[in-house]
Chain A
Amino acid sequence: MRRTGSGPDDADEIPLVTAHMVKSAQRIAALNDAAARLGLAPGVTVADARARHPGLAVVEHDPAVDHLLLTAVADACDRWTPLVALDPPDGLMLDITGCAHLFGGEAALARALAVRLAEGGLAARIAIADTPGCAAAVARYGARDTPVVVPPGGQDAALAPLPLAALRLPPGMVASLAEVGLKRIADILDRPRATLAARFDGLLEKLDAARGETDTPISPRRPMPACVTEQNFAEPVLLERDVLDTLARLGARLARVLESRGEGARLLETALFRTDGRVVRITVGTGAPLTDPARMARLFADRLAVGEPCDPGFGFDLIRLSALATERCDPVQGGLDASDATAELAHLVDRLSTRFGARRVTRQMLRDEHVPEHATACVPAQAARVAGSRHGLVPSPRADALVPARPLRLLQRPEPVQAVAEVPDGPPVRFRWRRVLHEVAATEGPERIALAWWRDADGHALTRDYFRVECRGGFRAWLFREGLFGRETPHPTWFLHGLFG
């Protein structure tokens, strides 16, 4: 695949090459048609080429940018099949099994693909064959005019006239094959396999793969979605409202398919294909299997409302909705009043997660830990399947205590306070927190909590003595003294860790 010239009359085109450093010399990596007509080829040193053609334009070869272009084209090719693989440095592999009939057959698909790439300013060589190896060989080394469609089972005939390099052998092997007079694939098709296998390691594997004797899967860039629906437009759509309407319709179709499978969507993706080949993808996750199309559309509307504005360019001509992940979802019979509270809550959590991020909508899970900051963990509400949430109100864990033993709010990190105690290991008498002096009226404690030594890599963990204190005004706080006086440290420090309700 190469970028074509700027206009139809290539005569004015400036010969242009890209150069990179190979074996301590600047050599041509790629060139345009004008440069090729001058007789230049990849691998020629830039010094030679300049000597022959002083007007040659040379730019630095940038493989990273090439790769970006290739992935962008691969994105655009998603409209033909969900299975698109990169074939670096300049190829793409599309598995169109089962897709060709949607576009009027293989030849029609290839033509349509060529037209689309040409509209994007790219010259491409396209071949369709039974095996990836054969298609790649024909596309790169086959007839001058593409697209070529190799008929089913016609690999041998298509491969025979091609040079051996078409099999993508290691560079040295092509040369050593040429030394013994083997230049084309036809030369090795009828050779005894044993001798070839003995002398050329890996040759037969490549040949068998191209001929279809062995099966070679491609590795697609994106995982295969569980379920896909899409809508083509003769006239590109531009308005967000139209996109959302389409998504609601597609969602209804998707929901029917999922429902027949007894599944619901957990991860949905919308792909908006712009006419110029760009693809905008929007992914939303759900906390529970979702089958309601209106809710699917609502999630995407929320995401569009907060995400970066998506530029429609000249419009979208293909909108695809896929369920990337699904989960079993048994149909629930709705009541007459249709008060499906669980689903409604799940939908609210999904919407808030979609809008603000799943990490911001959380539930707390209590853990059996002594260290206060480890006693609870925040998990995304979408991920937390609450099994026992219906038991509701819990009895207080310390039923004998007159007051709660744990604060309602915990500071994110304990804040140092200046505290005065009557004796070094006694309760505080007064303390200063955030520049306000508090006179302690009553205390309870200490509650001694030693930090877990196995978590403490440096061996500096100090024991904490926690006190619940009530100040003169009624302000209640959770203070601790870090370090046992005399044993662990000569100067214990005080911290405020939480506020009581």
Chain B
Amino acid sequence: MVVPPPDPGEILRALRSRVAALEAHRPPPDAESALALGVPTLDRALGGGLSLGALHEIVPATPLDLGAAAGTVLVLAVHALHRVRRFAHREILWIQPELAGLEAGRLYGPGVAELGLSPARLIELRLASERDGAFAMEEALQCRALGVVVGEFFDDRALDLVALRRLSLAATAGGGLGLLLRHRAEALASPAATRLEITAAPGLPDGFGGLGQPTVLLSLERNRRGPTGRWRLTWDHHEHVFREAPAPLSVAAAAGDRPHRPDDAEDRVRTG
């Protein structure tokens, strides 16, 4: 007797359901599960904001943008401590390999304080070997006393897919915000929820010719919840808020691929 060939549609459905289970889709975010950045279009793209209990990658577009990327990471961390109620008494752990410190400098307490974070709430871990970074970050992400764990990685060899997946699971278990600051912007596959590419941008000069507020060009390269796109943001270190910076006149408005009907989820391009 001939066994009828299995229906390809059925196989596909079964596979899809298995993938969906593996992907562990969470319910849509509320105020305590996502960090709204205060920029409406960006928050809409992110589906409410940067999801907490997840891993996010921040990469500088070029090595020169590392300062801006590190600044964005710190500002996101400060923003999280400030906005998420259950993070109100939590601390930040910043993991940095020694080599990265030699290359791009260590965090500087007075500068950290000026961006709005008391250095007393910052613990730094400086590692001799980059391979320990993933282990330390995983342990830290599982700790519920930390709000934000930042892992800086100079070299991508320490971060394979398995390590990233473990980090992502640890972030889900701990409920904190995991930020990966990767010095090398290689477009590898990653289980991180989002990937933000940071480019330093000229700040708008103030009326007296001095320096303007620090501005970055944030490019949402990968986003599990919605479309990608580019935004020009500034950080107000007095009020601890992000603002969308007006584009300089000489540059065309940043378009990106924003949804043309923001309310209609079906039309969005899913990536990641």
A352–B125 CA distance with the chains assembled, in angstroms:
8
Q: Is the CB of B203 within 8 A of A403?
A: yes
Q: Which residues of A contact B88 (CB under 8 A)?
A: 392
Interface stretch (choices A59-67, A208-216, A309-317, A382-390): A382-390
Contact of B122 among A364, A403, A406, A441 (CB under 8 A): A364
Q: Is the CB of B146 within 8 A of A404?
A: no
A402–B209 CA distance with the chains assembled, in angstroms:
12
Are A404 and B111 CB-contacts (below 8 A) given A356-B136, A392-B88, A501-B67? Answer: yes
Q: Is the CB of A396 within 8 A of B114?
A: yes
Q: Is the CB of B213 within 8 A of A402?
A: yes
Are A403 and B238 CB-contacts (below 8 A) given A356-B127, A362-B124, A409-B104? Answer: no
Are A352 and B67 CB-contacts (below 8 A) given A406-B110, A410-B105? Answer: no
Q: List 8 A-B contacts (CB under 8 A).
A: A352-B125, A352-B139, A393-B118, A403-B210, A408-B71, A409-B104, A476-B67, A498-B105
Query: 8 Å CB contacts to A: which residues of B106-164?
Result: 106-128, 132, 136, 139-140, 143-146
Mark interface residues in B77-113 (1 if CB within 8 Å of A CB, else 0): 0100110000011110000000001101111111111
A442–B207 CA distance with the chains assembled, in angstroms:
12
Q: Is the CB of B111 within 8 A of A394?
A: no
Interface size on A, residues (CB 8 A): 63
Which single residue of chain A is at the shortest CB-CB distance from B143?
A348
Which single residue of chain B is at the shortest CB-CB distance from A339?
B144
Are A501 and B72 CB-contacts (below 8 A) given A403-B203, A410-B111? Answer: yes
Q: Which residues of B contact A378 (CB under 8 A)?
A: 124
Interface stretch (choices B14-22, B194-202, B223-231, B261-269): B194-202
The total of Cβ contacts below 8 Å across the A-B interface reads: 216
A339–B89 CA distance with the chains assembled, in angstroms:
12
The answer, yes or no, to whether A234 is at the interface (CB within 8 Å) is no
Q: Which residues of A contact B33 (CB under 8 A)?
A: none
A443–B215 CA distance with the chains assembled, in angstroms:
15
How far does the Cβ of A334 sit from chain B's closest Cβ, in whole Å?
A: 14
Q: Which residues of B contact A443 (CB under 8 A)?
A: 211
Interface stretch (choices A38-46, A159-167, A447-455, A466-474): A466-474
The answer, yes or no, to whether A412 is at the interface (CB within 8 Å) is yes
B105, B112, B200: residue with the most chain A Cβ atoms closer than 10 Å: B105
Interface residues of A (CB under 8 A from B): 339, 341-342, 344-345, 348-349, 351-352, 355-356, 360-366, 372, 375-376, 378, 381, 386, 388-394, 396-399, 402-412, 436, 441-444, 468, 470, 472-477, 498-501
Q: Is the CB of A402 within 8 A of B127?
A: no
A349–B107 CA distance with the chains assembled, in angstroms:
19
A351–B214 CA distance with the chains assembled, in angstroms:
37
Given known contacts A409-B106, A501-B68, A501-B75, what 6 new A-B pairs fall within 8 Å (CB)? A345-B143, A348-B143, A366-B110, A376-B119, A394-B113, A498-B111
Q: Is the CB of B124 within 8 A of A408?
A: no
- Complex A-B, nearest 5 residue pairs according to Cβ-Cβ distance, in ascending order: A501-B71, A499-B67, A376-B109, A474-B200, A409-B105
How far does the Cβ of A284 sit from chain B's closest Cβ, in whole Å?
A: 16
A352, A396, A498: residue with the most chain B Cβ atoms closer than 10 Å: A352
Are A361 and B125 CB-contacts (below 8 A) given A409-B105, A441-B202? Answer: yes
Which single residue of chain A is at the shortest CB-CB distance from B206?
A402
Which single residue of chain B is at the shortest CB-CB distance from A363?
B123
Which single residue of chain A is at the shortest CB-CB distance from B200?
A474
Q: Which residues of B contact A408 (CB under 8 A)?
A: 67, 70-71, 74, 107-108, 111-112, 115
Q: Is the CB of B144 within 8 A of A474?
A: no
Q: Is the CB of A409 within 8 A of B108?
A: yes
Q: Is the CB of B127 within 8 A of A360?
A: yes
Contact of A474 among B118, B203, B209 (CB under 8 A): B203
Q: Is the CB of A393 within 8 A of B82?
A: yes
Q: Which residues of A contact B119 (CB under 8 A)?
A: 363-366, 376
The answer, yes or no, to whether B43 is at the interface (CB within 8 Å) is no
Q: Is the CB of A362 within 8 A of B123?
A: yes
Are A500 and B210 CB-contacts (below 8 A) given A389-B121, A474-B201, A474-B203? Answer: no
Contact of A444 among B109, B139, B211, B215 (CB under 8 A): B211
A351–B135 CA distance with the chains assembled, in angstroms:
12
Contact of B212 among A360, A402, A473 (CB under 8 A): A402
How far does the Cβ of A120 sit from chain B's closest Cβ, in whole Å?
A: 39
Are A501 and B70 CB-contacts (below 8 A) given A375-B109, A388-B120? Answer: yes
Size class of the B contact interface (CB-based, 8 Å): 35 or more
Q: Is the CB of B118 within 8 A of A389?
A: yes
How far does the Cβ of B124 sit from chain A's closest Cβ, in whole Å?
A: 5
Q: Is the CB of B145 within 8 A of A341?
A: yes
Query: 8 Å CB contacts to A: which residues of B43-69?
Result: 64-68
A444–B82 CA distance with the chains assembled, in angstroms:
30
Q: Is the CB of B89 within 8 A of A390?
A: yes
A378–B114 CA distance with the chains assembled, in angstroms:
18
Q: Is the CB of A376 within 8 A of B110?
A: yes
Q: Is the CB of A363 within 8 A of B124?
A: yes
Q: Is the CB of B81 within 8 A of A393?
A: yes
How far does the Cβ of A394 sit from chain B's closest Cβ, in whole Å?
A: 4
Contact of B132 among A356, A386, A406 (CB under 8 A): A356
Q: Which residues of A contact B256 (CB under 8 A)?
A: none
The answer, yes or no, to whether B165 is at the interface (CB within 8 Å) is no
Q: Is the CB of B123 within 8 A of A474?
A: no
Contact of B214 among A403, A405, A412 (CB under 8 A): A403
Q: Is the CB of B211 within 8 A of A470?
A: yes
How far does the Cβ of A475 sit from chain B's closest Cβ, in whole Å?
A: 5
The answer, yes or no, to whether B243 is at the interface (CB within 8 Å) is no
Q: Which residues of B contact A345 (CB under 8 A)?
A: 91, 143, 145-146
A410–B124 CA distance with the chains assembled, in angstroms:
14
Q: Is the CB of B114 within 8 A of A404?
A: yes
Q: Which residues of A contact B64 (CB under 8 A)?
A: 436, 473, 475
How far does the Cβ of B67 sit from chain A's closest Cβ, in whole Å?
A: 3
The answer, yes or no, to whether B184 is at the interface (CB within 8 Å) is no
Q: Is the CB of B71 within 8 A of A406?
A: no
Q: Which residues of A contact B211 (CB under 8 A)?
A: 402-403, 442-444, 468, 470, 476
The answer, yes or no, to whether B166 is at the interface (CB within 8 Å) is no
How far does the Cβ of B246 sit from chain A's closest Cβ, in whole Å?
A: 15
Q: Which residues of A contact B74 (CB under 8 A)?
A: 408, 501
Q: Is the CB of B102 within 8 A of A444?
A: no
Q: Which residues of A contact B237 (CB under 8 A)?
A: 396, 403-404
Q: Is the CB of B81 within 8 A of A392?
A: yes
Q: Which residues of A contact B210 (CB under 8 A)?
A: 402-403, 442, 444
A342, A396, A399: residue with the most chain B Cβ atoms closer than 10 Å: A396
Q: Is the CB of A407 within 8 A of B121?
A: no
A282–B68 CA distance with the chains assembled, in angstroms:
43
Are A501 and B115 CB-contacts (below 8 A) given A348-B146, A474-B68? Answer: yes
Which single residue of chain A is at the shortest CB-CB distance from B120?
A389
Are A348 and B214 CB-contacts (below 8 A) given A375-B110, A396-B114, A412-B105? Answer: no
A342, A441, A500: residue with the most chain B Cβ atoms closer than 10 Å: A500
Q: Is the CB of A406 within 8 A of B124?
A: no
